[in-house]
Amino acid sequence: MFNDVIDAAGGGRVAALGRRVLEGARVSRPEALELFGIEDQADLVELLAWANRIRARFKGNRVALCSIVNAKAGRCSEDCRFCAQSGHYRTASPSHGFVDSGVMRRAAAEAERWGVGALALVAAWRGLSEGRLFDEVCERIGELAGLGTVRPDASLGILSSQAVADRLRAAGLRCYNHNLETSRRFFPQLCSTHTYEERLQTLRFLRNAGIAVCSGGILGLGETREDRCDLALTLREVGADAVPINFLNPIPGTPLAGTAPVPPMELLKTIACFRFILPTQHLVIAGGRSANLRQLQSLVFMAGASGLMVGGYLTTAGPPLEQDLQMIRDLGLDRGATPAHPLVLHATPRHPVGGAR
Ligand code: SF4
């Protein structure tokens, strides 16, 4: 049993690692794998309790809320096996071109009405390169930034160059979501039309441009615990500012439609392990949470989460916003004052969404 190893200060191995994280130490890969390997229920509860302490220490009691507007849907050229928006699969996902200004402004007004601090433009396409469409994207971002009510975020795929990232920054973008989705090892089994390296390069462009990096992944794709661990370690290595955690919602018509769900306690454990590895980042619970966590949803904060994507997702509905806000109040957490333009940014949902699509 994991707690058989008793550290000098009292408590077990989890407590020892938890104390070290609170003191600013980094968990190593072997230590992280040890946490992911926990099976015993009592050890798991202890892991959650320490993840909760780490969240409280580094993120306080405030839950960052973010929302999205589906800026372009369906018929994506890429073949991500989890995604309802891929043009390679027959799904019931809606399809439309780039969003007009009116739709975006209505979404921004709605976000402001509910006190949601960030709104992300999310598009289903491979990515962005210079051209007429990119000019339009920059215009839209500038317009959103000009409203001054919500922080304009975006999730628009792979960036083709540093110049593209720099122009997004100049247009007013402060935070960009681009998920790694899973480990480098497992990624080729999920997508053949682009590489992990292209995703990493996009994160580098963002970082160089001074845009906050929001990058996370999807749980339940068929990955191992080791893959989950390596995803978290890579996100630490690339300096992600915010880490959205999605859960696969298998969409009929996609190759992963029949994938068996991961048990909710295993998902909570994964969130807690992420908190140990990423103590100061925002961990944002995003798509697929209702279907996968069911009655255990509220435990995500005890497991270390510090943010929530609210409202509708891209191709599946989220819980009613009022219900989420009530959950946050009931937990004694503060959902409120997400500033529109904080210096340290937090999450949007993801580009390649999967969990919600
Ligand atoms: S995850 Fe993104 S890149 Fe992949 S198919 Fe879906 S929309 Fe396209």
- pTM for this structure? 0.88
Q: Which DSSP state fits 331?
A: T
- Is the C-beta atom of 202 inside 6 A of ligand 1? no
The per-residue pLDDT for 67 is 77
- Is the C-beta atom of 51 inside 6 A of ligand 1? no
**Residue 193 CA to ligand 1 centre (angstroms):** 10
The per-residue pLDDT for 126 is 85
- Is the C-beta atom of 351 inside 6 A of ligand 1? yes
pLDDT confidence tier of residue 318, bands split at 50, 70 and 90:
low
Element (H, E) at 242: strand 242-247
The per-residue pLDDT for 340 is 35
Nearest CA to ligand 1 atom 7: 124
| Structure tokens, 286 | 């995003």
Nearest CA to ligand 1 atom 5: 86
| Residue ranges of domains in the chain, CATH in brackets | 2-57 (no CATH), 60-330 (3.20.20.70)
Which residue out of 80, 193, 248 has the highest number of ligand 1 atoms within 8 Å of its CB and is therefore the one to mutate? 80
* CA 140 – CA 98 distance, rounded (Å): 10
Which residue out of 81, 83, 126, 194 has the highest number of ligand 1 atoms within 8 Å of its CB and is therefore the one to mutate? 83
Spell 32-63 as b/e; 16+ CB within 10 A means b: bbbbbebeeeebbebbbebbbbbbeebbeebb
Nearest CA to ligand 1 atom 1: 352
| Average pLDDT for 319-329 | 82
> Is pLDDT above 60 for 124?
yes
* Ordered DSSP codes for 158-222: EE--HHHHHHHHHHT--EEE---BS-TTTGGGT-SSS-HHHHHHHHHHHHHHTPEEE--EEE-SS
The per-residue pLDDT for 320 is 76
pLDDT of 18-74, one tens digit each? 999 999 999 999 999 999 999 999 999 999 999 999 999 999 988 888 777 777 777
Among 86-90, 131-135, 192-196, which range has the highest average pLDDT? 192-196
Among 7-16, 18-27, 323-332, which range has the highest average pLDDT? 18-27
The per-residue pLDDT for 346 is 30
pLDDT confidence tier of residue 214, bands split at 50, 70 and 90:
very high
